[in-house]
Amino acid sequence: MKYIDEYRDGTLAKDIARQIATVADPARSYHFMEFCGGHTHAISRYGLEDLLPANVRMIHGPGCPVCVLPIGRIDAAIALAMRPEITLCTYGDLMRVPGSNGSSLLKAKAAGADIRMVYSTLDALWIAEAEPDREAVFFAIGFETTTPPTALALKAAIAKGLGNFSVFCNHVLTPVAIQNILESPDVRKLGTIKIDGFIGPAHVSTVIGTEPYKFFAEEFRKPVVVAGFEPLDVIQAILMLLQQVNDGRHEVENQYIRAVTTFGNERARAEVANFFELRESFEWRGLGEVPYGALRLRPQYAAYDAEKRFAMVTPAAKDNPACECGAILRGVKKPADCKLFGTVCTPDTPIGSCMVSAEGACAAHWTYGRFREKARQVDAGRAVA
Amino acid sequence: MNMMIRACGRKLDIANGRVDLSHGAGGRAMGDLIEVIFHKAFDNDWLRAGNDQSAFSVPGGRMVITTDGYVVSPLFFPGGNIGTLAIHGTINDISMAGAVPLYLSASFIIEEGFPLSDLERIADSMGAASREAGVPIITGDTKVVERGKADGVFISTAGVGQVPDGLDLRADAARPGDAVIVSGSIGDHGIAVMSKRENLEFDTAIVSDSAALHGLVAAMVETGGRHIRLMRDPTRGGIAATLNEIASQSKVGFRIDEEAIPLKPEVAAACEFLGLDPLNVANEGKLVAVVAPKGADALLAAMRAHPLGREAALIGHVVADGNCFVQMATSFGGGRIIDWLSGEQLPRIC
């Protein structure tokens, strides 16, 4: 497949892996966080960690929009969907995300709620158009990448005079979240986890560019390499990070030059700015309340804001106390450190959101990587014997 | 309700007519429907005999029986329809025992309002598929349910077959060292169906691989039946599900080589933009065989000599693994697990 296979070339990967092995200083270790779930998925799916030396480790970050959605927002969406006039349009990923007391959108659908899986914001618009007697609500989630399509859907709804279309907005912002991780006590004060650099999300930067990362690369003295989602992109970004760390540099570098520019897509950002404004605070699963880390519709579009239109409330809801999603999303723990991982919490019976989306750290590790733990246990057992 | 109720001469308006509740009520209208659509399409001595059941003599030895329901949406897709699927799928389930399929039954649950022309088209293609396979449909049933209680038409087929003497394929028979062979490119059916799904339509040259595999299986059994441990047709859940089923039933693991798995570039491309893993995508005309190491080469050659096995490939081996993990060496150079699919990747593909 042209323009795809080139970025999955095993021979090139081995070359870069050899360079990494040469560049990595055996006297120290390196810990890099891939912020974005797309990278987590690529690392797991292509077995990229097998190509890294033991002292170069990846930490899976919170960049999976499904995973960071707090349980209360799912509860609010379920409560909304149970109203008879509502057709809730959602991406398939969200269907199985656990709400409170074992609930989920999938179960609400089975209980009679009109919940439709859509592939794009346009599907939701079409439903609103085709069924004028229904209230079509689009469950909008995601980072800067998925916000412009929501903005365009709102623009189209207004142009078409669709009075029965609205958006339940859960869009969140990447740079703020990375900063929040770096400022968290785990990272800053306690020194329990060490992050030597970040792989920055690819598609987010096609919209926002590389510029927004400059501040904290300087402030926190951590290198950032914005990388594409193909496995060669990721392994090259790891090499670039290693070189920065060894040189004592902390710059924002762009590996994904075929799609990302310094300032990103200004038209897309203008559309977003037209419809959305910052929330003073928004809860992220795993990070807690993040100031200015999410978006809401501007007051002049209140008629299209499902939260206002239907007076939605987000109930306070707690995760399963044994679930380590929070610590895993901050990079403090690994999926296998969680007592629930692989026992009661599996992709078929997810307890925490990290186990739901293919981009979630736990699901990716379960699906693609868990044999490594088993292999290590077996090796350890042999060593003891 | 037997299909052979004598028609009473009323004409069905097949071009414009629709199935209504009277077509399932046991009266004349039902007799007309069965006569004009099903009888015509499946015509054979058993149906003509007009009994509520059909009798046949059983050869000696071991027999197999299987049943399967078909609810695919959309009903028509590139390379087939729900009817051809219902014939091929059941023949394949029989064939995976190494058995020779003998007879089929067919049961229809039709939604009120379903166009008669579509029903005829489905029945005709079932008749053609059954004749081509040489496996007659010898009994059947028709029910009509109210609008909204079904999705167009649902079909159930059952089949019986005879196992050749000395052949005993079992799910728990895979042993470390065995070779894993797939009969051709994976994911064609799932992507063909997906390409016609409402709201997701895309243009593609991919057609479903829906086919009856008993001819290919007969060639394999003849060449090296004693070396075949077991066979599966990787339908829903794709080869990922099939390999995991075998792993847990045989209590073994697998090592699969990603580069060895046959995959059409168009299917790879469609999976890429739909975000699907081809290993999870359904097939309806492919089989996975686990074979003893010394029989692998001869079986592979026999498969490649058959039109439905031309692209057959050895994709990996069985290994001893108490965790029953299916592991794959990626073409990128790493390793990963191939897992069961969680939840649904594609709604209603067969």
Based on the fold, state whether residues B191 and B325 are members of the same structural domain. yes
B237 contact partners, CB below 8 Å, separation of at least 6: B280, B282, B340, B341
Start-to-end C-alpha separation, chain A: 48
A146 contact partners, CB below 8 Å, separation of at least 6: A65, A140, A171
pLDDT (tens digit, 9 = 90+) per residue, B226-269? 999 999 999 999 999 999 999 999 999 999 999 999 999 999 99
Based on the fold, state whether residues B123 and B222 are members of the same structural domain. no
Q: Tell me how close the Cα of A385 comes to any Cα of chain B, in angstroms.
A: 18
Query: Is B4 inside a domain boundary?
Result: no
Mean pLDDT, chain B, whole residue set: 92
pLDDT at A167: 98
Mean pLDDT to the nearest integer, A350-379: 72
Distance of alpha carbon A307 from alpha carbon A170, whole angstroms? 10
Domain residues for the domain of B155 are 21-162
Q: Could you give all domains of chain A from N- to C-terminal order, each with its CATH number?
A: 1-321 (3.40.50.11740), 325-384 (no CATH)
Instruction: Compare CB distances from B332 to A47, A346, A371 and report the shortest one's residue.
Output: A47
Residue A258 has pLDDT above 90, yes or no: yes
Distance of alpha carbon B350 from alpha carbon B156, whole angstroms? 11
Q: Tell me how close the Cα of B150 comes to any Cα of chain A, in angstroms.
A: 17
Query: Is B106 inside a domain boundary?
Result: yes
Query: Is B203 inside a domain boundary?
Result: yes
Among residues B162, B194, B217, the one where a domain terminates is B162
Q: Tell me how close the Cα of B198 comes to any Cα of chain A, in angstroms.
A: 11
Based on the fold, state whether residues B207 and B130 are members of the same structural domain. no
Based on the fold, state whether residues B218 and B147 are members of the same structural domain. no
The tally of domains found in chain B comes to 2
Using a pLDDT cut of 90, give the percent of chain B over it: 80
Query: Is B169 inside a domain boundary?
Result: no
List of chain B residues whose C-beta atoms are within 8 Å of the C-beta of residue A126? 199
Instruction: Compare CB distances from A10 to B333, B337, B340 and report the shortest one's residue.
Output: B333
A88 contact partners, CB below 8 Å, separation of at least 6: A77, A80, A81, A105, A113, A114, A115, A116, A137, A139, A168
pLDDT (tens digit, 9 = 90+) per residue, A319-360? 788 888 878 877 778 888 899 998 888 888 888 878 877 677
pLDDT at A187: 63
Of the residues A9, A46, A106, A372, the best mutation for testing chain B's interface (the one with the most B CB atoms within 10 Å of its CB) is A46
pLDDT at B343: 61
pLDDT at B295: 95
Query: Is B8 inside a domain boundary?
Result: no
Mean pLDDT to the nearest integer, B32-41: 93
Residue B7 has pLDDT above 70, yes or no: no
Q: What is the CATH number of the domain that holds B44?
A: 3.30.1330.10
Q: Cα Rg for chain A, rounded, in angstroms?
A: 21
Q: What is the CATH number of the domain that holds B296?
A: 3.90.650.10
A46–B332: do the CB atoms touch at under 8 Å? yes
pLDDT (tens digit, 9 = 90+) per residue, B268-305? 999 988 888 999 999 999 999 999 999 999 999 999 99
Distance of alpha carbon A224 from alpha carbon A237, whole angstroms? 9
Based on the fold, state whether residues B150 and B194 are members of the same structural domain. no
Based on the fold, state whether residues B155 and B183 are members of the same structural domain. no
pLDDT (tens digit, 9 = 90+) per residue, B145-177? 999 999 999 999 999 999 999 999 999 999 999
Q: Tell me how close the Cα of B319 comes to any Cα of chain A, in angstroms.
A: 14
Instruction: Compare CB distances from B335 to A8, A47, A118 and report the shortest one's residue.
Output: A47
Query: Is B275 inside a domain boundary?
Result: yes
Q: Which residue has the higher pLDDT, A381 or B318?
A: B318
pLDDT at A303: 97
Among residues B162, B195, B224, the one where a domain terminates is B162
Interface of A with B (CB under 8 A): 1, 4, 8-10, 13-14, 17, 44-51, 95-96, 118-119, 123, 126, 231, 346-348, 363, 366-371, 374
List of chain A residues whose C-beta atoms are within 8 Å of the C-beta of residue B335? 47, 50, 371
pLDDT at A327: 81
Least confident among A21-30, A356-365, B26-35, B45-54: A356-365
CB atoms within 10 A of CB A50: 16
Strand A197-200 and strand A30-36: pairing?
parallel
List of chain A residues whose C-beta atoms are within 8 Å of the C-beta of residue B337? 367-371
Residue B347 has pLDDT above 80, yes or no: no
Based on the fold, state whether residues B231 and B85 are members of the same structural domain. no
Based on the fold, state whether residues B209 and B329 are members of the same structural domain. yes
Residue A193 has pLDDT above 80, yes or no: no
Among residues B106, B128, B162, the one where a domain terminates is B162
Q: Give the CA distances from residue B197 to residues A26, A131, A174, in Å, rounded to whole numbers and listed in that order.
A: 54, 20, 34
Query: Is B167 inside a domain boundary?
Result: no
pLDDT (tens digit, 9 = 90+) per residue, A281-301? 999 887 788 899 999 999 999
Helix or strand (DSSP H, E) at A359: none
CB atoms within 10 A of CB B266: 18
Based on the fold, state whether residues B202 and B98 are members of the same structural domain. no
Interface of B with A (CB under 8 A): 199-200, 265, 268-269, 272, 323, 325, 327, 329-337, 339-340, 342-343
CB contact at 8 A, A7 and A232: yes
CB–CB contacts below 8 A, A to B? 73
List of chain B residues whose C-beta atoms are within 8 Å of the C-beta of residue A119? 199-200
DSSP A97-122: ---GGG--HHHHHHTT-EEEE-SSHH
CB atoms within 10 A of CB B314: 17
Instruction: Compare CB distances from B339 to A14, A367, A374 and report the shortest one's residue.
Output: A367
Query: Is B118 inside a domain boundary?
Result: yes
Based on the fold, state whether residues B298 and B186 are members of the same structural domain. yes
Based on the fold, state whether residues B129 and B270 are members of the same structural domain. no
Strand B313-319 and strand A252-254: pairing?
unpaired
Based on the fold, state whether residues B274 and B187 are members of the same structural domain. yes
Nearest to B333 by CA among A320, A331, A13: A13
Q: Tell me how close the Cα of A285 comes to any Cα of chain B, in angstroms.
A: 22
pLDDT (tens digit, 9 = 90+) per residue, A117-168? 988 899 999 999 999 999 999 999 999 999 999 999 999 999 999 999 999 9
